[in-house]
Structure 1
Amino acid sequence: MLLGCGTVISIGGCSIPVSTLNATKTDAQAQTSVQKTTDNPSPSILPVVSSSNNPNFVVGVVQKVGPAVVRIDAARTVVAQVPEEFDDPVIRRFFGSKPPRQRIEKGSGSGFIINAGGQILTNSHVVNGAQSVTVKLKDGRSFKGRVLGEDPVTDVAVIKIEANNLPTVSIGNSESLQPGEAVIAIGNPLGLDYTVTSGIISATGRSSSDIGVTDKRVDYIQTDAAINPGNSGGPLLNARGDVIAMNTAIIRGAQGLGFAIPINTAQGIAQQLIAKGKVEHPYLGITMATLTPDIKEQVNSKFGINLTTDKGVLLIDVVPRSPAASAGLKTGDVIQSISNQPVTKIEEVQKIVEKSKIGSSLELEVIRNGQTTQIAIQPAPLPARRGS
Structure 2
Amino acid sequence: MSNFRVFSTRCVTFLRNTCNISSSTTFRRFLSQKSYTYHNQESQSRLTKLLTQICGGCIACGLSMYCLKDRKFITNKFIVNALEPSDDNIPRMPYSFLADIVEMAQPAVVYIEVKIRNPYGHGVVKSHGSGFIVRDDGLVLTNAHVISRQSVVDVKLQDGRVVKGQVQAVDSVTDLATVKISEKNLPVLKLGKSSASRPGEFVLAMGSPLTLNNSVTHGIISTVNRGSRELGMEVRDMEYIQTDAVITKGNSGGPLVNMKGEAIGINTLNVMAGISFAIPSDRAAEFLRKAEELEKRAAKKGWFGMGSKAVTTKQNRYIGITMFTLSPEFLSDLQSRAPNFPQHITSGVLVPTVIHGSPAHRAGIQPGDVIVKINDKDIKSSAEVYKILETSDTLIVQVYRQNQKFQLTITPDTID
Q: TM-score w.r.t. structure 2 length?
A: 0.48
Are 2:182 and 1:153 equivalent residues in the alignment?
Answer: no
CA contact (8 A) 2:247 2:267 kept: yes
Out of 267, 279, 285, the residue aligned to residue 267 of structure 1 is: 285
1:227 equivalent in structure 2: 247
- Once the two structures are superposed, the pairs formed by residues 182-221 of structure 1 within 5 Å of their partners are 182-221=202-241
CA drift of 1:279 comes to 7.0
User: Which residue type is aligned with residue 166 of structure 1?
Assistant: L
Are 2:86 and 1:68 equivalent residues in the alignment?
Answer: no
CA contact (8 A) 1:76 1:132 kept: no
CA contact (8 A) 2:151 2:167 kept: no
CA contact (8 A) 1:74 1:131 kept: no
Are 2:179 and 1:139 equivalent residues in the alignment?
Answer: no
Q: CA distance change for structure 1 residues 143 and 199 in 2, over 3 Å: closer, same or farther?
A: same
In structure 2, distance between residues paired with 1:270 and 1:246: 13
Q: Deviations over 1:340-386 (max 9, x none)?
A: xxxxxxx9xxxxxxxxxxxxxxxxxxxxxxxxxxxxxxxxxxxxx92
Are 2:291 and 1:276 equivalent residues in the alignment?
Answer: no
Instruction: Give secondary structure in 2 for the equivalent of 1:58.
Output: helix
CA drift of 1:56 comes to 1.8
User: Which residue type is aligned with residue 264 of structure 1?
Assistant: D
In structure 2, distance between residues paired with 1:280 and 1:101: 27
Instruction: Give secondary structure in 1 for the equivalent of 2:229.
Output: helix
2:323 equivalent in structure 1: none
User: Which residue type is aligned with residue 61 of structure 1?
Assistant: I
Q: Deviations over 1:68-113 (max 9, x none)?
A: 000000112243xxxxxxxxxxxxxxxxxxxx65563321100000
In structure 2, distance between residues paired with 1:187 and 1:143: 18
User: Which residue type is aligned with residue 183 of structure 2?
Assistant: A
Instruction: Give secondary structure in 2 for the equivalent of 1:225.
Output: coil
Out of 182, 185, 195, the residue aligned to residue 165 of structure 1 is: 185
Out of 95, 114, 127, the residue aligned to residue 107 of structure 1 is: 127
Are 2:87 and 1:59 equivalent residues in the alignment?
Answer: no
Instruction: Give secondary structure in 1 for the equivalent of 2:287.
Output: helix
User: Which residue type is aligned with residue 113 of structure 2?
Assistant: D
CA contact (8 A) 1:126 1:232 kept: yes
CA drift of 1:212 comes to 3.9
Which stretch of the first structure deviates more once superposed, 213-222 or 164-173? 213-222
**Over aligned residues, Cα RMSD in angstroms?**
2.4
CA contact (8 A) 2:143 2:175 kept: yes
CA contact (8 A) 1:148 1:274 kept: no
Higher percent of residues as helix = 2
Q: TM-score w.r.t. structure 1 length?
A: 0.51
User: Which residue type is aligned with residue 175 of structure 2?
Assistant: D
In structure 1, distance between residues paired with 2:237 and 2:94: 37
Q: How many residues align?
A: 213
CA contact (8 A) 2:138 2:181 kept: yes
Q: CA distance change for structure 1 residues 279 and 218 in 2, over 3 Å: closer, same or farther?
A: farther
- Once the two structures are superposed, the pairs formed by residues 21-100 of structure 1 within 5 Å of their partners are 54-79=94-119
Q: Deviations over 1:89-148 (max 9, x none)?
A: xxxxxxxxxxx6556332110000001100000000011322530000111111100011
2:335 equivalent in structure 1: none
Q: Deviations over 1:200-220 (max 9, x none)?
A: 001121122333444333210
User: Which residue type is aligned with residue 156 of structure 1?
Assistant: L
1:326 equivalent in structure 2: none
Q: Deviations over 1:285-327 (max 9, x none)?
A: xxxxxxxxxxxxxxxxxxxxxxxxxxxxxxxxxxxxxxxxxxx
CA contact (8 A) 1:206 1:220 kept: yes
Q: CA distance change for structure 1 residues 162 and 124 in 2, over 3 Å: closer, same or farther?
A: same
Q: Please list every run of 5 or more consecutive structure 1 residues that lacks an aligned counterpart in the other structure.
A: 1-52, 80-99, 282-346, 348-384
In structure 2, distance between residues paired with 1:151 and 1:280: 6
CA drift of 1:177 comes to 1.4
Which stretch of the first structure deviates more once superposed, 226-235 or 266-275? 266-275
Instruction: Give secondary structure in 2 for the equivalent of 1:196.
Output: strand
In structure 2, distance between residues paired with 1:147 and 1:117: 15
Instruction: Give secondary structure in 1 for the equivalent of 2:196.
Output: coil
Percentage of identical aligned residues: 40
